[in-house]
Amino acid sequence: MSNALRITKKTFTWAVVLLTIAWSMGIAALMPQTAYAVDCPELEAFDLFQVDGSKAVYLLNADMERMYFPHQTVYETWYGTDFSQVVEIPKADSAGNACIDQYPSGKGVNYRPGSRLVKTIESPSVYAIGPDNAKHKLSSADVAKKLYGAKWEDKIVDLAPVFDANFSVGAAVAEATPHNGMLVKVSGEDTIYYVEDGEYLEVDGDLDSWVAASVQAVTQEVFDMGGEVGGTKTSASLTEDPTQMGSVPSEDEDEDEDEEETSGGDLSASLSANTAVAATLADGTQYNNLLTVNFKAGSKDVKIEGLTVTRTGLIANSNISGVSVWDGDGYRHGEIMTSFNTNNQVVIGFASDPIIVAAGTTEAVSVSFNLGTSAAGGTVGARIASASHVDTDGGEVSGSFPIDGNIMSIVDGSSSLADAKVEAQAVSAASASTASGNTEIGETKDIGKFKFSQSNGKGKITVEQVVFYLEGTIDDNDLKDFTLYSPTNDILGSAEWAVDRYVTLKLDKPYEIDTSKNRILTLKATAVDGSGKNFRVHVQNDYDLMVKDVALGYYILPYDVAAGTAWTDEVASDGWFILKSGTLNVVKTANSPSGNISAGTSDQLLAKFDVKGVGEDMEIRKIGVKIATTAGSTDLSGNVSLIVDGTTLLTFSGDYSAALYSTGSQRTLSQYLYVKSGETKVLEVYGNIDSNASADTYQVSVGNFYAKRISTKNFADNIPSAGYTDATGNVLTVETTSVTFVKDTSVPNKTVSKGATQLIGQFLVKAGSAEGVCLTGVSMSFGGTGNAPTDIQNLQLLFGDEEFGSLVSTVATSANSFTANKCLEPNESKTLKVKAFVVSTANSANLVASTTSYTYIGKVTQNSTSQTNSVVGQTTTLGSPNVILTAASDASTISAIRLPGESQQVGKWKVESQYETVIFKKMTFQVRDHTFANDTSAGNFGSFSLYDSADMSKSIGTASYIPGTGNGYVRFNGMTWSVPADSIKYLVLKANVNGSGGMDVASVNTFVIASDSSTDMDVAASNGSLTTSQIDATSGDNTTNTHFATTTYYLYHNAAPTVGKVSVGTALDTSSQSKLFSFKVENNGDRELRLATFTINVAATGMTATGATTGTVQSWELWEANATGGLGTQLATTSTCQLTGGALASGCYYNATSGSSVNVSFGEVNDVNSLLASLTVAAGGSRTFILVANASGAANGKTTGTINVTPKLDGSTGYSNGDSNFEANWNDGPSGVAPLQYFYTPVGGSENSTAYAASDSYDVVGDTLKLTL
């Protein structure tokens, strides 16, 4: 599909439109006004009604006008399939009095905004529906897809003109920006927004299913184009005004649940639409949501710091075991309060964890009750009694107080509810907080285990949230990454830190425990600080657990000792963990130096170590150092230094001593190193490499630290350990300065043209790993069959892209010297390119460039080295420029029919340039006919244009056809088309194909390159135009070529059929009039087509023969389709032959079982309505046809299995030398049986006497129709 919105009729056909009008108007809509003698019910604005006996439904607007629903699908976008609100009024009495006449006729109700896309039957333009009965044109298919999804076309409804008049036309939707009235969400997210004036309003409340179906999931990019997220919009308001005439009270005026306007730092409160409906609750359950309040902030953020909740209903306060407050994301704020005052109220404060309502936004806050196991019966509800019962950080609180939730009934749940028992398990820690340390800082351990049991066998339970308490001296930032695991080690939930010693784990998904089963859940955490501190893990209260009865949906009150008894406190008796005292972690730094170093290097970095304080701050006073070397290695010269952050902590001699090179020793720092707990310092060790070192190795280790513990005020020695194995650097090897010089194998041997500067060699130069080097000199020599002094001039070297030394104008066979100073870093490599000018008189021979010597110097050591080994480079052959011209073969060069039209491809050639860039200045193409003779009077062509296939936007030349004896060609002069050396390009020849009256009807033409002589072609290189020996039809032919590189054959027609399948489904209809195949014939030419005969091939599999019975398909009919794709007019019929499943039929039959198929032909001989003699398709028009057959006997003799029937127009396409059944040298059908035979009359001519049969459409294969028994 193009980017323009062009589609055919979709959801509704004309037949459906007529039914729609009947549904919407009804008989009553046509009755005249009269007096009202019948008993008419009183109706109000926005009532729905219908007249007794009629299906039409009406809506009264604010002016008491009746508005009709054009179709049931319109009604369903507002009300779904619920017709319970529709009032039935009497029909007219015998005197003609009708209740409906009390209500003047108004316009129709339109689809709800954002629910559908619409178009008219007459126009392809597609519109989105916005508010206020407006439609908005979608500018492109891309915009529609981004806003309404990949299947946006399925949302399109065709409107009859009478219904389209109900819409006004609003501004077009030019970009993929969500428009007013849409319901959208970001793909992968759940929050739904309503689009209004460039703002996203979050939908508050659950959506009815028919409304939710119109929510569009868009990408984040599309969502971000729609503006900012603003306030809220209630779900009920989306469908409250189907008239869209602005006459329904606004949300701000709703007294029950909509919000009041707020300003400044004030807060408004209103009952949320999501408040729980009245229901029955079971005792022994918790977290029962009784009240949800919407709090909306004004222009400033507001913090809700507490609520006073009043209990309503008939229940004793003692039977309510907990009251809690929750935000809209499901997180609890404040403690769970367990006792009411004498006013039946609890005060829940949460100033330290407030609910923040951002300016201009709404936050839903819920109140939940826990019901004790003794409640047994009664009723209960929750209330926010007054504005003073909402504690904020400032500003006024407004609203219609009191705000009450629904009253819930309470029943005894003991006989039905599943139970949950929770018991702490042993964790193999310590039984007292005073025990010795058992946990390392940085260690991850199991810190709590709790067994959850479903004991009473009354159903599955799920664990959704657990709140753990940390007893002891631990701080919140001492433990990190709390993670709860299942018995199978699956992660159930996690929290990074504790808050006020509490760890709240909201499980990623509910963890299910089956009936009468138990599971032990394990809590793990990592100690990150807190040296010397202790802790153990509790589950203090039953309300710290959220456990649900899966079947009944209640949160139940767990117990820990016995069912029905009060919760105590679950903690393991051996659950004490004591963090060990402070220490150091010392490891090699990831980027510590490795590999090779150079002799004579001063201040060489030998190693780097990460030193981390663990448990508490540490002051390091001594560090042990050891340097291991290979036997016979040269000692370090000068001093060894220990440095942190640029500060030298210690300097000592690098001379040999056993304490340094053998055993290692602890050394007192001249400046102490302070490392905070959790902080990492990088310790660097530097030394000097002796200039006499060669192949020596050095490896530094540190350990045996001595440090003061700052918090516990004692000293630690031999940390991490007394040895030197904890932190060992990499082995460093002394390497002498080096350079490698090799041929660059990525550059092949090649042939270059003369008379130009050419690349004749390329090498790779790479520095060794010990140090960087500077290349100071290179000497070049030349071998091969050529003679460098006479063949090349102006020799130069390029180091990368920089010139190396001076150009050598007169080249010698050897000792061509270059001096420079170009440097490389260690292990860095660069190319060294050898270039020279190849003189035009050079021998047709080859040259081989070689380096005979090179010199370099070390960047650090300044050691100078000279190498005299020869490195042989590429072989370069000195040649002449050459061009190879051949016909191209690709998807664009398939033989085809050319109809009248401009700029049509008629030829394509591959052009390959060798050795040098060439310029095409002249090109001649000869026109040839179907016999391959020169066509000197071709009438098919107007003007010609020649293109480089890489840029079809502009031609490289234009020309005209030159007719006449000895001519018949197209010549392009004055071109400057360039083909770079050693590259391939493509030439495309296009022509304006003449229309009827000028074209040679049913003729075949092709194009060839006329010749490579200077008369027909001029291709220039650096030394002038190429000769015929330099222009080849095949590589290396080196001869004169004429009439070569034959390109595609094309057939030229005034008109020809384009045929396409029209689907009839995939099920085989075993009726006497079964649709087997439908196809559309289009005429894209400029003359009317007359269709004469049709031949359709039908094949089948699976039909069988049993006894005297055989499966048959027979009695063939050809029909023209009507406007809806059904049977329109019968054209022809034939019963001559049948397709069978065996050899039992009499007369003409084809046995499908043996692989035969039947060709069914229609023409004037079996015409039933005298139509085939003049069955025409107008220029630019089309007609659709259907093959029908009697398939009622297809399953004869078969009781199981599958029958498949496949029809097709079995033809061939393209040029075919010698095929002259219809058009000369052109394919038609198998054995001369053409699927379609046709005629037309050219301008100024007469209709063809012999039928034409060519088409580019074949084979046209229909649907495979299947019958499964």
Please state the domain count of the chain.
7
Output the pLDDT for position 1225. Answer: 85
Cα gap 788→849, rounded to integer Å: 10
Q: In this structure, are 549 and 662 located in the same domain?
A: no
Tokens of 334: 């404040």
- Is 524 a member of any domain? no
Q: In this structure, are 275 and 392 located in the same domain?
A: yes
Render pLDDT for 386-440 as a digit per residue (tens, 0 to 9): 999 999 988 899 998 999 999 999 999 888 999 999 999 999 898 988 888 888 8
Last residue of a domain, one of 1052, 1087, 1117: 1052
- Is 198 a member of any domain? no
What value does the mean pLDDT take over residues 304-333?
92
Q: In this structure, are 1088 and 1044 located in the same domain?
A: no
| Band (1145; pLDDT cuts 50, 70, 90) | low
Q: In this structure, are 1031 and 1146 located in the same domain?
A: no
Which 3 state secondary structure label does DSSP give 39?
coil
The residues pairing with 876 across neighbouring beta strands, listed in sequence order, are 750, 847
Is the bond leading into 510 cis (omega within 30 degrees of zero)? Answer: no
Residue type, 121: I
| Band (640; pLDDT cuts 50, 70, 90) | very high
Indicate the pTM of the whole model: 0.44
Say if residue 23's pLDDT is above 80: no
Say if residue 829's pLDDT is above 80: yes
Q: In this structure, are 1124 and 1153 located in the same domain?
A: yes
Using CA atoms, how far residue 781 sits from 818, 850, 872, 873, in Å, is 12, 5, 9, 10
Q: In this structure, are 797 and 937 located in the same domain?
A: no
Render pLDDT for 855-878 as a digit per residue (tens, 0 to 9): 999 887 787 888 888 899 999 988
Using an 8 Å Cβ cutoff, are 543 and 482 in contact?
A: no
Say if residue 889's pLDDT is above 60: yes
pLDDT cut 90: percent of the chain above it: 59
Cα gap 853→817, rounded to integer Å: 9
Output the pLDDT for position 690. Answer: 85
Cα gap 454→466, rounded to integer Å: 16
Q: Residue 1173: exposed, middle, or buried by beta-carbon count in 10 A (0-12, 13-18, 19+)?
A: exposed
Q: In this structure, are 953 and 1042 located in the same domain?
A: yes
Residues 6+ apart with CB under 8 A from 42: none
Which is more confidently placed, 419 or 1228?
Answer: 419
Q: In this structure, are 364 and 487 located in the same domain?
A: no
Say if residue 19's pLDDT is above 70: no
Tokens of 395: 């500003």
Output the pLDDT for position 755. Answer: 81
Cα gap 557→542, rounded to integer Å: 6
Using an 8 Å Cβ cutoff, are 592 and 730 in contact?
A: yes
Tokens of 2: 């193009």
Q: In this structure, are 462 and 400 located in the same domain?
A: no
CATH number for 668: 2.60.120
DSSP assigned state of 661: H
Q: What is the residue range of 306's domain?
A: 251-411
Mean pLDDT of the chain: 88
Render pLDDT for 1179-1203 as a digit per residue (tens, 0 to 9): 999 999 999 999 998 998 888 999 9
Cα gap 276→322, rounded to integer Å: 18
Output the pLDDT for position 1147. Answer: 63
Q: Which of 26-30, 1125-1129, 1155-1159 has the highest mean pLDDT?
A: 1125-1129
Using an 8 Å Cβ cutoff, are 93 and 28 in contact?
A: no
Helix (H) or strand (E) holding 134: strand 134-137
- Is 942 a member of any domain? yes
Render pLDDT for 61-117 as a digit per residue (tens, 0 to 9): 888 888 888 888 899 999 998 888 889 888 877 666 788 888 888 888 999 999 999
- Is 489 a member of any domain? yes
Q: In this structure, are 147 and 124 located in the same domain?
A: yes
Q: Residue 944: exposed, middle, or buried by beta-carbon count in 10 A (0-12, 13-18, 19+)?
A: buried
Name the residue among 209, 107, 125 with its Cα closest to residue 163: 107
Output the pLDDT for position 38. Answer: 62
Q: In this structure, are 562 and 619 located in the same domain?
A: no
Output the pLDDT for position 256. Answer: 40
| Band (34; pLDDT cuts 50, 70, 90) | very low
Which backbone phi and psi does 661 adopt, to 5 degrees?
A: -100, -10
Which is more confidently placed, 986 or 142?
Answer: 986
Render pLDDT for 505-561 as a digit per residue (tens, 0 to 9): 999 999 999 999 999 999 999 998 888 889 999 999 999 999 999 999 899 989 998
Tokens of 948: 């480089």
Q: What is the 3-state secondary structure (H, E, C) of 740-803?
A: EEEECCCCCCEEEECCEEEEEEEEEEEECCCCCEEEEEEEEEEECCCCHHHHEEEEEEEECCEE
What value does the mean pLDDT take over residues 967-984?
94
- Is 202 a member of any domain? no
Last residue of a domain, one of 825, 852, 879: 879
- Is 3 a member of any domain? no
Render pLDDT for 131-180 as a digit per residue (tens, 0 to 9): 999 999 998 888 899 999 989 888 888 887 778 888 888 888 888 899 99
- What does the chain come to in residues? 1269
Say if residue 1054's pLDDT is above 50: yes
Using an 8 Å Cβ cutoff, are 384 and 307 in contact?
A: yes
Residue type, 931: T
Cα gap 1167→1241, rounded to integer Å: 23
Output the pLDDT for position 301. Answer: 92
Using CA atoms, how far residue 14 sits from 10, 159, 164, 215, 406, in Å, is 11, 10, 15, 29, 51
Residues 6+ apart with CB under 8 A from 713: none
Strands 183-186 and 215-218: parallel
Q: In this structure, are 1001 and 1012 located in the same domain?
A: yes
- Is 1215 a member of any domain? yes
pLDDT cut 70: percent of the chain above it: 94
What value does the mean pLDDT take over residues 958-976?
96
Rg (CA), the chain: 46
| Band (6; pLDDT cuts 50, 70, 90) | very low
Cα gap 723→721, rounded to integer Å: 6
- Is 532 a member of any domain? no
CA dihedral 162, 168, 171, 174 (to 10 degrees): -20
Residue type, 517: K
Q: Which of 262-266, 565-569, 620-624, 730-734 has the lowest mean pLDDT?
A: 262-266
Name the residue among 129, 126, 57, 135 with its Cα closest to residue 89: 57
Residues 6+ apart with CB under 8 A from 800: 830, 831
Using an 8 Å Cβ cutoff, are 457 and 516 in contact?
A: yes
Name the residue among 353, 357, 334 with its Cα closest to residue 267: 357
- Half-sphere exposure of residue 318: CA atoms within 13 angstroms, side-chain side: 1
Output the pLDDT for position 94. Answer: 67
CATH number for 261: 2.60.40
Last residue of a domain, one of 188, 219, 239: 239
